C-alpha cells in the first residue's frame, strides 16, 4: 500500500494491524506519562503516531519528484512518483509519439523505475499529454493538511481499538485494571502485608465499600511513585486476591470483602434459577412477542433497549418478590450500572417518596438486582405490584417506588393456597396497599408452603405444569378463558420460566386454542 494512499485509504484503517514497534511506542508513552491510560486514550495516541509516521514518509517521497498524471507533459531526465503503484519512483529516459486513433494525440514516456527491494531496475512506458479524461488526473493524494489523525480516528476508531485491545491482551508487557492499561514492569510492589492492611480496613468498615485512595492512606507505597500509579498498583494486587471484590458502579473502583457480601449476591437465590427450555421461537406471533416485551423477563431473548433516561415500570413476579430482587431485563438494565468488568456491582437504591437510601447489588451472571426484601415488606408489595424505576440525582443511585393506594382497601384478587400437591385458586378480598396489574396479581397466603411445593414440581415437565396452572385458573372465569400474562405469573409460582417457552407450548399444543389478544381456552385432546 502506498504511503500517500494510507492516510485516506479505507482498507488500510479498516484492517489496521498493530506492530511490535507500536507497542514499544505505547510502552514509552505510558512510562513518560506515569499514568495508566484507557484503551481509547491509547488508541488515539497510536493513531496520531501512525499518522505522523505516514506523513513523514509521504513528505520525503513527494520531495523526490512530481506525482505522475496521464494528462501532464514530462521531460527527459524528470523524476516521477507513481502514487497509484504504491509510490514507486523512476526517471524519464525517453519519449515517443503515441499511436491509437481513439486517444490521439498523446505521448509515451519511457521511465526507468528505481530499484525496489529484491528487484532490478526496469524500464516501463506510461502515457502522457492525454487529452481525454482519466481518473488519475483528478485523484487526490492526501497530505497531512488534508486529512488529520483526528479525522481518521473519528471514522476508524472502532477498528483501531479492536486491533489494539487484541494486541494488548496478548502482550505480557501490559497489564489491565478496570479498563486502564500500564506497563507491568513499572507497577509498584505491593506486599502481602500491605494487602492484609486493606482487608483489615474493610473489615472495620463492615466489609466496605471503600475507595482505593482511602485504603492507600494506611498503606505506605514509595513517594516517588505517582498517586495514580499507586492506586493502579494496589488495585491490580487486590483484583488478583479472591478476598476482595471491586463493586464500584462506574468511573472508579469500590472495594468490598466477599466474606461480608450478602449470600444472595454470592449465590443466585434458588427461586431465580432457570433451567433453559428448548422451544420453537418461530411459532410466536406478533401478539405473543408484544407480551414478551411487556413482561420484561430477564431470561427473554430480547435486545437491550437504548438508554433514554425516562422512568420505567415493571410488574413484580413471585420469584423476585420472594427473593427481594428485580429482573435485570433488557428494558430496565440501563438503570443499573453494568459496565464494570466484575460480576457484582454495588449501587444505591433511593425510595422515591421518603428519599431513604439503602444498598443494592447488580449480579450480572444471574441477571438480577438484589436488595429489596425489606423494602417490599415495608411497602406491602405483592405478586403483580407495579414497581417504578427512575434515575437518581447522583450517579449510581436508582429511585424505586410502588404506587400506593391512598386509603388501603380490600380488593378482589386471585388467591392461592396449597392443598396436598396442588395449588388451589379462588378469588377473595384481601388488603391491597399499592396498585397492581390485574392480569398478573396473585395473593399468596402461605409463601413457605408454595416454596415447598416447588420442590415437587421440579420433576414435572413444562407441559404438565402449564396444564395444572390452566386448570386452576380456568375455573375463576365464566368463559373459562385465561390470559397469557396470568398464566406466566402463576407458572412462576411453580417454576422459574420466561414467557416465550410457555407461549410456544400454548401455540403448538392441541390442548389449547387461542381466543385472540393473548387469551386462551382449554379444549383437551391428546
What does the pLDDT look like over 108-127, one tens digit per residue?
999 998 876 555 567 889 99
**Is the separation of the CB atoms in 386 and 434 below 8 Å?**
yes
Cell of 456: 415437587
Least reliable range by pLDDT among 68-82, 171-185, 242-256:
242-256
Instruction: Name the CATH topology of 187-261.
Output: Arc Repressor Mutant, subunit A (1.10.10)
As a whole number of angstroms, the distance between CA 354 and CA 375 comes to 12
| pLDDT-derived band at 385, boundaries 50, 70, 90 | very high
Residue 269: CB atoms within 10 Å: 20
What residue has cell string 383437551?
524
Q: Point out the least confidently predicted range of 165-169, 418-422, 495-499.
A: 418-422
pLDDT in tens, 507-525: 999 999 999 999 999 887 5
Phi first, then psi: give them for residue 177, nearest 5 degrees: -135, 115
| Whether the predicted model's global pTM rises above the 0.85 cut | no
Q: Cα(208)–Cα(202) distance, rounded to whole angstroms?
A: 5
Q: With DSSP H G I counted as helix, E B as strand and the rest as coil, what are the percentages for the chain, rounded to 5?
A: 35, 25, 40
pLDDT confidence band for 140 (50 / 70 / 90)? low
Q: What is the pLDDT of residues 345-366, one digit of tens each?
A: 899 999 999 999 999 999 999 9
Residues 6+ apart with CB under 8 A from 485: 291, 294, 295, 437, 439, 440, 518
For the chain, what are the domain ranges?
A: 3-62+144-173, 70-138, 187-261, 282-405, 409-522
CA distance 410 to 38: 57
A 10 A CB-CB count for 224 gives 7
In whole angstroms, give the CA distance from residue 526 to residue 20. Answer: 68
Helix (H, G, I), strand (E, B) or coil at 315: strand
DSSP structure string for 42-67: HHHHHHHHHHHHHHHHHHHHHTTSEE
Separation between Cα atoms, residue 215 and residue 234, nearest integer Å: 9
Domain 282-405 listed as CATH 2.40.330.10? yes
**Taking a C-beta distance cutoff of 8 angstroms, is the pair 66, 79 a contact?**
yes
Burial class of residue 306 in the structure, from the number of CB atoms within 10 Å of its CB (0-12 exposed, 13-18 middle, 19+ buried):
exposed
Is-contact 286 242, C-beta < 8 A?
no
Whole-angstrom distance, CA of residue 281 vs CA of residue 302: 12
Instruction: Find the Cα–Cα–Cα–Cα dihedral 472, 474, 477, 480, rounded to 10°.
Output: -160
Amino acid at each position: 500500500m502506498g504511503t500517500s494512499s494510507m492516510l485516506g485509504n479505507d482498507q488500510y484503517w479498516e484492517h489496521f494491524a498493530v506492530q511490535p514497534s507500536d507497542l514499544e511506542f505505547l510502552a514509552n508513552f505510558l512510562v513518560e506519562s506515569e499514568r495508566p491510560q484507557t484503551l481509547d486514550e491509547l488508541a488515539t495516541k497510536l493513531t496520531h503516531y501512525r499518522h505522523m509516521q505516514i506523513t513523514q514518509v509521504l513528505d520525503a517521497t513527494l520531495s523526490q519528484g512530481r506525482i505522475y498524471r496521464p494528462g501532464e507533459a514530462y521531460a527527459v531526465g524528470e523524476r516521477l512518483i507513481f502514487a497509484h503503484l504504491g509510490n514507486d519512483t523512476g526517471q524519464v529516459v525517453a519519449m515517443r509519439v503515441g499511436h491509437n486513433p481513439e486517444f490521439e494525440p498523446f505521448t509515451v514516456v519511457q521511465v526507468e523505475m528505481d530499484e525496489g527491494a529484491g528487484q532490478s531496475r526496469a524500464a516501463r512506458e506510461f502515457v502522457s499529454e492525454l487529452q481525454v479524461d482519466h481518473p488519475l488526473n483528478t485523484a487526490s493524494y492526501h497530505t497531512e493538511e488534508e486529512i488529520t489523525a483526528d479525522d481518521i480516528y473519528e471514522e476508524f476508531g472502532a477498528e483501531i481499538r479492536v486491533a489494539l485491545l487484541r494486541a494488548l491482551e496478548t502482550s505480557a508487557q501490559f497489564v489491565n485494571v478496570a479498563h486502564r492499561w500500564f506497563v507491568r514492569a513499572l507497577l509498584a510492589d505491593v506486599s502481602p502485608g500491605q494487602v492484609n492492611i486493606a482487608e483489615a480496613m474493610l473489615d472495620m468498615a463492615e466489609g466496605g465499600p471503600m475507595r482505593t485512595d482511602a485504603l492507600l492512606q494506611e498503606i505506605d507505597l514509595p513517594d516517588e511513585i505517582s498517586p495514580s500509579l499507586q492506586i493502579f498498583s494496589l488495585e491490580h494486587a487486590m483484583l488478583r486476591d479472591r478476598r476482595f471484590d471491586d463493586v464500584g458502579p462506574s468511573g472508579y473502583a469500590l472495594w468490598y470483602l466477599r466474606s461480608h457480601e450478602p449470600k444472595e449476591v454470592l449465590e443466585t437465590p434458588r427461586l431465580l434459577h432457570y433451567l433453559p427450555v428448548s422451544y420453537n421461537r418461530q411459532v410466536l406471533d406478533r401478539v405473543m412477542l408484544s407480551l414478551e416485551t411487556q413482561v420484561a423477563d430477564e431470561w427473554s431473548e430480547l435486545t437491550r433497549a437504548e438508554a433514554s433516561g425516562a422512568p420505567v415500570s415493571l410488574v413484580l413476579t413471585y420469584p423476585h418478590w420472594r427473593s427481594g430482587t428485580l429482573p435485570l431485563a433488557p428494558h430496565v438494565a440501563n438503570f443499573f450500572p453494568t459496565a464494570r468488568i466484575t460480576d457484582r456491582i454495588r449501587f444505591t437504591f433511593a425510595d422515591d417518596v421518603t428519599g431513604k437510601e439503602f444498598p443494592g447489588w447488580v449480579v450480572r451472571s444471574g441477571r438480577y438486582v438484589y436488595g429489596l426484601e425489606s423494602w417490599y415488606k415495608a411497602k406491602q408489595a405483592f405478586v403483580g405490584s407495579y414497581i417504578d424505576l427512575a434515575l437518581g440525582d447522583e450517579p449510581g443511585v436508582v429511585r424505586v417506588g410502588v404506587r400506593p393506594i391512598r386509603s388501603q382497601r380490600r380488593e378482589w384478587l386471585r388467591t392461592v393456597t396449597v392443598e396436598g400437591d396442588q395449588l388451589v385458586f379462588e378469588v377473595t378480598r384481601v388488603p391491597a396497599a399499592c396498585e397492581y396489574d390485574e392480569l398478573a396479581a396473585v395473593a399468596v397466603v402461605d409463601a413457605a408452603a408454595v416454596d415447598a411445593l416447588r420442590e415437587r414440581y421440579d420433576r414435572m415437565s413444562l407441559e404438565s405444569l402449564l396444564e395444572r396452572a390452566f386448570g386452576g385458573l380456568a375455573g375463576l372465569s365464566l368463559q373459562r378463558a385465561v390470559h397469557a400474562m396470568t398464566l406466566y405469573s402463576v407458572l412462576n409460582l411453580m417454576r422459574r420460566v420466561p414467557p416465550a417457552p410457555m407461549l410456544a407450548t400454548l401455540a403448538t399444543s392441541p390442548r389449547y386454542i387461542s381466543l385472540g389478544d393473548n387469551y386462551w381456552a382449554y379444549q383437551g385432546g391428546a
